[in-house]
C-alpha cells in the first residue's frame, strides 16, 4: 500500500509552473478515478496494489530506426533498485491518462499494469528471466508482450466488467486512437511536459543480487500460484 502521496510529483510540477492551473485542477478532479480503479483491482484480486504515482509528463516511446514512429506510454510498471540494492516495483501513471482517459480505460490500464507486476514477481520467484549475459538479467515490460501475462479471468474473476474492459482495450497491446489524438492536441501541442524514452527503455536490467533481496509476502506467492493453477486448468479444458 502507498505510504506517500502519489500526487507529489504533480504538486511539485504545478509549484514550478510546469503545469498550468487549469490542467492541475483537472488532474485533481479526476484522480479519484485512479483511486477507485486501484481499490477495484485490489478487491477483485485479493491483493494490494504496488506503489504507484502520477507522472506529470506525457511519456512517449520513439524508435532510433524509424524516426516517424512514436508510441504513447500511458502507464508503466517499473522495477527500481535503490541505493541499498533493494528491488521495488512501481507503477507510473501519466497525467494525460488521468486528465483525459475514460473511466473504463483508466481502470483497464491499472489492471493491466497490475498483471505486469504479478508477472514480474512470478518470473523473479521462478528465475524465469531473459538473460543475455552472465552478470545480469533482463525484464521486458512492453504492452505488446502479453503472452506471459497471467490470465486476467483468473486474477479478476469476481469482476466481469473489469475483465471486459481489459480484453476490449488490450486485444494485442493497448491502443486508443481517440485518446491519443486528444492527448497530442491538448497536451503535446500545447507544450506541456513531455519526456521521450527509447524502445530499448522497456528492457530493464535487474541485478541478480537485487532480485535475491526482493521481499515477497507469502500471501502474494500463494495468490500467484492460485492464479496460475486457474490458468492451467482453463488451458487444459479448452482442448477437451
- Does residue 209 have a pLDDT over 80? no
Bigger pLDDT: 41 vs 1 = 41
In a domain, 3, yes or no: no
Measured in degrees and rounded to the nearest 5, phi and psi for residue 139 equal -125, 120
Instruction: Give the pLDDT confidence of 122-168 residue by residue, as tens digits.
Output: 888 776 544 433 223 333 333 344 445 578 888 999 999 999 888 88
11 by DSSP, 3-state: which?
helix
- Does residue 72 have a pLDDT over 60? yes
Segment holding 221, helix H or strand E: helix 218-237
Residues in a beta bridge with 198 = 62
Average pLDDT over residues 27-54: 96
In a domain, 215, yes or no: yes
Bigger pLDDT: 21 vs 62 = 21
189 by DSSP, 3-state: which?
coil
In a domain, 35, yes or no: yes
Average pLDDT over residues 80-106: 88
Q: Which of 186, 216, 159, 173 is nearest to 36 (CA)?
A: 159
Average pLDDT over residues 45-57: 95
Bigger pLDDT: 9 vs 206 = 9
Q: What's the rounded Cα separation, in Å, for the pair 118 and 216? A: 11
Q: What's the rounded Cα separation, in Å, for the pair 40 and 160? A: 12
Average pLDDT, the chain: 80
* Residues 6 or more apart in contact with residue 61 via CB below 8 angstroms: 70, 71, 72, 73, 196, 197, 198, 199, 201, 202
**Domain containing residue 180:** 8-237
Q: Among 29-43, 62-76, 101-115, 169-183, whose mean pLDDT is lowest? A: 62-76
Q: What is the pLDDT of residue 68?
A: 54
Task: For residue 87, name the pLDDT band (cuts at 50, 70, 90).
Answer: confident
Distances from the Cα of 200 to the Cαs of 56, 72, 127, 134, 207, in angstroms? 22, 15, 22, 20, 17
Q: Locate cell 480505460: which residue? A: 105
Distances from the Cα of 60 to the Cαs of 143, 149, 163, 185, 190, in angstroms? 13, 23, 26, 14, 15
- HSE-up (13 A, CA, CB side) for residue 178: 5
In a domain, 1, yes or no: no
- HSE-up (13 A, CA, CB side) for residue 126: 12
Number of domains in the chain: 1
Q: What is the pLDDT of residue 3?
A: 61
Average pLDDT over residues 182-197: 93
Amino acid at each position: 500500500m502507498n505510504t506517500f502521496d502519489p500526487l507529489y510529483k504533480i504538486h511539485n510540477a504545478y509549484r514550478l509552473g510546469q503545469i498550468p492551473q487549469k490542467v492541475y485542477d483537472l488532474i485533481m478532479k479526476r484522480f479519484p478515478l485512479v483511486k477507485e480503479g486501484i481499490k477495484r483491482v485490489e478487491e477483485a484480486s485479493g491483493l494490494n496494489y504496488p506503489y504507484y504515482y502520477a507522472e506529470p509528463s506525457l511519456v512517449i516511446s520513439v524508435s532510433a530506426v524509424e524516426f516517424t514512429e512514436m508510441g504513447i506510454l500511458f502507464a508503466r510498471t517499473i522495477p527500481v533498485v535503490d541505493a541499498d540494492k533493494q528491488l521495488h516495483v512501481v507503477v507510473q501513471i501519466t497525467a494525460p491518462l488521468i486528465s483525459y482517459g475514460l473511466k473504463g480505460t483508466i481502470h483497464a490500464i491499472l489492471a493491466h499494469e497490475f498483471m505486469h507486476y504479478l508477472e514480474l514477481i512470478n518470473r523473479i520467484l521462478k528465475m524465469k528471466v531473459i538473460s543475455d549475459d552472465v552478470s545480469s538479467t533482463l525484464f521486458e515490460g512492453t504492452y505488446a508482450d502479453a503472452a506471459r501475462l497471467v490470465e486476467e479471468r483468473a486474477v479478476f474473476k469476481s469482476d466481469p466488467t473489469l475483465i471486459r474492459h481489459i480484453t476490449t482495450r488490450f486485444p494485442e497491446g493497448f491502443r486508443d486512437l481517440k485518446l491519443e489524438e486528444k492527448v497530442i492536441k491538448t497536451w503535446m501541442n500545447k507544450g506541456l511536459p513531455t519526456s521521450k524514452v527509447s524502445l530499448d527503455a522497456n528492457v530493464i536490467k535487474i541485478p541478480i543480487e537485487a532480485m535475491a533481496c526482493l521481499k515477497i509476502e507469502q500471501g502474494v506467492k500463494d495468490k500467484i500460484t492460485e492464479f496460475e493453477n486457474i490458468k492451467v486448468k482453463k488451458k487444459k479444458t479448452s482442448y477437451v
